[in-house]
Amino acid sequence: MKNPIVPPVMSDSGVAFRYQEGLDSRLAPIVLLHGLSQQGDFWFPTIDALGSRYSTLSIDLRGHGESRNMPPNYHISQVSQDCIGLMDELEIDKACVVGHSWGASVALNIAARYPSRTASSVLIDGGAFTPANIVEGGSITREDLNAALTPPIGPFSEAELRSHYLPADMLSSIDQRESVISAIARTYVEAPQGGFVTTIGFDRHMAVLEAFLDYNPDSDLRALAVHTWILMARDLFSPPTPLTTPALDSWAEARNQVETKVQGKMNIALQHWYGAVHDVPLYWPIRVAQLISHAVLSTRLSTRSTPRLISENGERGGST
């Protein structure tokens, strides 16, 4: 880690977080929200890439990391309230809210419900499409989709985790590999029988997933008024996720409908990053940091400007 990261801190409400003060107080702080089963350290590579100019707040969202003992209400609206409450506690008036995957749904909900607290938002491969869109499409039942999204229980060997998170074709340097290992270290704990299991645990993971199935983002997208960048990872090389065929087809359709959903909304920029994988903040942290920086600076420089619609062609991706 190149940037000094303060130890995790627990808020009065039981939310664990890391806050790093930036050198430029004129810039809106950046709130970083991880995906399902991860924790706030997932953003270590991105925080490093952002450098010391920006203030960052990475949160262990309810049910995850050191916030896993909070009461089990995992609905997106409640997790959003947790984040706003933490911003209140830290006296952060307004922030650029960034979310990945499940955390992108939280970021979207914050931006739509609390526009006065949101300078801009960035949704990374999630948020604009959710499992609820698939179920409401009618091609698969909620029960079947829940079963398709059920994660393996583990335990996992260290070799299995390294194979999953450290694809040789995406991490060419020792520093990159160590950064990823640091980012996901708190995602797992040693299992009594040997190996590693997720910190969130299987039962809590399924409880979060069940609540997530209740969240349809479409009304929040329609209400969204702040400048927002939506990043869609387009991995052209890795094999498909081992779900059932109906789930795969429906998921692809839900992703493809995002462009229609945001059409005509001048405050939203939709970007397709070809060659990127779902966990793009781990493997392309410099590009992700550049996008976040653009979101922060564009909002500061002109409240009238609209984000540009960009489609980026990336380098060869890998499997996560």
Length in residues, the chain: 320
Beta strands in the chain (DSSP E): 9-10, 16-20, 30-33, 56-60, 95-100, 118-124, 188-190, 196-198, 228-234, 268-274, 311-313
DSSP string, 251-282: HHHHHHTHHHHHTT-TTEEEEEEET--TTHHH
> Which of 138-142, 226-230, 233-237 is least confident?
233-237
Residue 4: asked if its preceding bond is cis (omega within 30°), the reply is: no
Task: For residue range 156-176, list pLDDT tens digits in order.
Answer: 999 999 999 998 888 778 899
* Amino acid found at 115: P
Task: For residue range 285-302, list pLDDT tens digits in order.
Answer: 999 999 999 999 988 754
Where are the domains positioned within the chain?
A: 11-313
Task: For residue range 32-54, list pLDDT tens digits in order.
Answer: 999 999 999 999 999 999 999 99
User: Whole-model pTM?
Assistant: 0.89
CATH number of 11-313: 3.40.50.1820
185 neighbors 166 (Cβ within 8 angstroms): no
At a CB cut-off of 8 Å and minimum separation 6, what does 313 contact?
274, 275
